[in-house]
Amino acid sequence: MAKRTDQRIIKAVVLFIFFGLLAVPVVIGHFTRQSATGTGILAPASAIKKFGFYFEEVSKQSGVNFVHHSPKLDPQIDPILPQIASVGSLGFGM
């Protein structure tokens, strides 16, 4: 009987941790949403206050005009290409 009780306690703890992990993104979203602007981008002053720095788009001002064109691979893998691309360098190193 004690074994069955121990299993129930372990199951309850695992479920508590699982649902806690599911709740973390919701809680983080709730607290970060308050400091963001309507576009979802922090204002420079807010970013400096929160992170100590901020990035600003200056590529066009600097004369850099780069557009990424993905390579054309074997047409047979086109249906699964997004999954292959999502692996990135991890798949290359395997």
- pLDDT in single tens digits along all 94 residues of the chain: 678 888 999 999 999 999 999 999 888 888 776 554 456 678 889 889 989 999 988 999 999 998 888 777 788 888 888 887 777 656 554 4
pTM above 0.85, yes or no: no
Return the pLDDT at 34.
55
d(CA 70, CA 43): 32
The dihedrals phi and psi of 53, each to the nearest 5 degrees, come to -160, 170
Return the pLDDT at 90.
61
Structural domain spans, the chain: 7-32
Return the pLDDT at 89.
59
Q: Are 57 and 65 in contact (CB under 8 A)?
A: no
d(CA 28, CA 37): 16
